[in-house]
Structure formats: C-alpha cells, structure tokens
Amino acid sequence: MTPPPLIRIEGLSKRFQSGGGLFAPERKMWAVRDLSLAIGRGEALGVVGESGCGKSTLARLVLRLIEPTAGRIIFDGTEITALSPAALRRMRRRMAMVFQDPYSSLDPRYTVTQVLAEPFRIQRQPLPAGAIAALLASVGLPDALAESHPHQLSGGQRQRVGIARALALHPEFVVLDEPTASLDVSIQAQIIALLADLRDRMGLTYLFISHDLGLVRYFCQRIVVMYLGAVVEVLPDTAAAPRHPYTEALMQSGFAPDPGRRRSVVPLTGEIPSPFALPPGCAFAGRCPRVTDRCRAERPLLSGDGGHPVACFHPL
C-alpha cells in the first residue's frame, strides 16, 4: 500500500479581480481553477508553465500565504485551509518557501545572521547556539559572511541565504518558486545540486515551480503542466512522453546544446491569451495544432488514464 501523501490539494481555485473602482470596469480572472493534486512524502513534484499559468499563485496558495476562493489543502492529515491564524502559524514551522528573486526577498537592512534568526523569532523559539553557523555550512556558505548585508553578496550567495532561511526550523515541506530563474546558468546548476543534496540529507518534500521544463525533468520525479490556471497534464515520471499538445510544444521549445539537433519548425504560433478573456472551450485551442470544433466549445477536464492524466480531447 502506498503511504498517504504529505499534501493533498482538492478542488483548489483562486479568483483575482482588478478594477471595479471609479476609473476601470471590474474584471475577474481565475488564476487557478479547480486544481487537485497530491504530493508524496519525500517527493519532488514539479509544476511547469509559462507566465500567467498560475504556478506562482499555486505556490502561495499551498502555504496559505493567500486565501483560496474555493477548495481544501490538507497537510499531513490537517486541513490547513480551516486553521485559525495561531494554529496556522504553528503549522508553518513544518513548511517553508524559497522565493524567485533573492534580491527582493532578503531585507537589505538585515545582516545574514539577522535574516537567519528571523524564523526563530517569529516562531518564538530560542535560537540554539551554533545554529547560524550550522545553517551557513549546510548551504555551503563560509562563516565569514554571517555579518554581511545582502548587497555585499552575489546572486548565488543570496539565494543560498534564502535557502538557509527556509531550512532554519527544519521544515518537512519546501515550496521552491523559480529558485534559479534570476541566476546565471552556472549558478543555477550549483543551486540545483545543493537543493538535491539537501533533499537527500534532510528527507525534504519539494514543490518545485519553474518555467523550464528541462530543469524540472532533471530535478523532479513527477511533473504537473499548467496552462492558464488549469492542469493540462501530469507526467508520471520524467521519461514519460507528452500526451497534451502543449506539453509537447514546451518540450520542443527548449534548445538542446547540440548543433546536430537543430529544429527548423517552430512548435507553437501565437501567444498566451489574456486570462481576463478566456475562450469558452479549451484555453489552449487558439494555439493548438490538433484543435477541432469541440475544443472551441467545450472545456476538456483532467482525466486519469493509466496514471497519466491529461486534459485534452485529442491527446497524443
């Protein structure tokens, strides 16, 4: 029997609205629509998609940094969407987040030591002796940086501080929201190696959000592909062939570092439509090479088929 998942997400939705004041008409959009997922203990689940697909909203919803419009999130048997603020704060010790931009996610007036001591302060826990040095060592930073300010660090060092802060209270679950998107490829690879080492050493469970399918396939075990707020496909393993035309296009859009494998066809035309004006049927219909009348009229739902769910009327 498979162990129960650490996280279960059921029918999660988030609606945003803009305008509605004196100057602009009210507009509404679903950033995340009716999303259900489970994340196993020790798993690294990847979520991949382009801008506006709702992946960062999902990251924030899972930790209840923002309130869902509908749906439930169950963390290790406890429904965190129903917790009181005080109970949620206690629960948050067990979860953490690493943000995309290490330049804006660290307080510029804090020293590295102050950044790393903050989680203890917020959770009203005593700061154990040697904790800062141990955290710095765990992310490969020298002690000498403990009194530095963020502006004195390189981008890669800053992101290591961000990771150390996330690990300060020994969480079980870490949401990684594009943790390498603002870094050089050489530094990205360092950070990915560090995250993999930490997962093995500390038995962490990851939700890894990225726009880079190649990176997600390297780092994660299962991959959720999102397009405009909805899951279009869940790849059961990294070697699985895509069934949704959008996933296939994403795979073909990455460039392999091999001049012998050049492509002459562009996989996709057009761009992502505005989430405020979604077409009635499949959100991908306007760019899809396999589109039919049915796709324009009716929205395909995610249906599991041999453990490889896909939301498409004409899967590959």
Partner 1 sequence: MTALLQLEAVSVAIGTVPLLDGIGLSLERGRILGLVGESGSGKSLTAMAAMGLLPLIGGRVTGGAVRFDGQDIGAMTDAQRRALRGGRIGFVTQNPMTALDPVQRIGEQVDVVSRLHLGLSHRAARARTLELLTRLRIPEAEAVAEAWPHQLSGGMKQRIVIAMALAGEPELIIADEPTTALDVTVQAQIIQILGALVRDRGLALLLITHDMGVVAQVCDRVAVLYAGRLAEEGPVGPIFAAPAHPYTAALIGCIPQDGMAKGALRGIPGAVPSALAFPPGCRFHPRCPRASDLCHRIAPLPTPRAEGRVACHHASPPPEGQP
Total count of residues recorded for the chain: 316
Q: How far is CA 226 from CA 12, 45, 143, 149, in A?
A: 14, 13, 40, 37
Out of 60, 165, 217, 243, point to the residue binding partner 1 (CB under 8 A): 217
Smallest gap from residue 162 Cβ to partner 1 (A): 16
Out of 111, 113, 148, 190, point to the residue binding partner 1 (CB under 8 A): 190
Stretch that binds partner 1, among 7-15, 72-80, 257-265, 299-307 (CB under 8 A): 257-265
Closest to partner 1 by CB, 138 or 252: 252
Q: Does 193 contact partner 1 by CB under 8 A?
A: yes
**Are 123 and 93 within 8 A, CB to CB?**
yes
Q: Which residues contact 95 (CB under 8 A, 6 or more apart)?
A: 63, 75, 171, 172, 173, 174, 175
Closest to partner 1 by CB, 106 or 194: 194
Out of 115, 136, 163, 192, point to the residue binding partner 1 (CB under 8 A): 192
Q: Lay out the site mask for partner 1 across 98-137 (x = CB under 8 A, - = otherwise).
A: ----------------------------------------
Smallest gap from residue 164 Cβ to partner 1 (A): 18
Out of 133, 169, 189, 291, point to the residue binding partner 1 (CB under 8 A): 189
Q: State the number of binding residues for partner 1 (CB under 8 A).
A: 45
Smallest gap from residue 215 Cβ to partner 1 (A): 5
Q: Does 260 contact partner 1 by CB under 8 A?
A: yes
Q: How far is CA 153 from CA 133, 156, 250, in A?
A: 17, 8, 34
Closest to partner 1 by CB, 129 or 185: 185
What are φ and ψ of residue 185, in 5° steps? -55, -35
Q: Does 149 contact partner 1 by CB under 8 A?
A: no
Q: Does 253 contact partner 1 by CB under 8 A?
A: yes
- For β-strands 70-75 and 78-79, DSSP reports them as antiparallel
What whole-number distance in Å separates Cα of residue 246 and Cα of residue 11? 22
Out of 272, 278, 291, 302, point to the residue binding partner 1 (CB under 8 A): 272
Closest to partner 1 by CB, 263 or 294: 263
What whole-number distance in Å separates Cα of residue 41 and Cα of residue 8? 11
Smallest gap from residue 301 Cβ to partner 1 (A): 23
Smallest gap from residue 130 Cβ to partner 1 (A): 26
Which two tokens mark 256? 């392999």
Closest to partner 1 by CB, 78 or 238: 238
Bridge partners, residue 9, by sequence = 37, 73
- Edge to edge, the sheet with strand 230-235 lists 95-98, 173-177, 205-210, 44-48, 222-227, 230-235
Name the site residues for partner 1 (rule: CB under 8 A). Answer: 50-51, 154-157, 184-193, 196, 211-215, 217-219, 249-250, 252-263, 266-269, 271-272
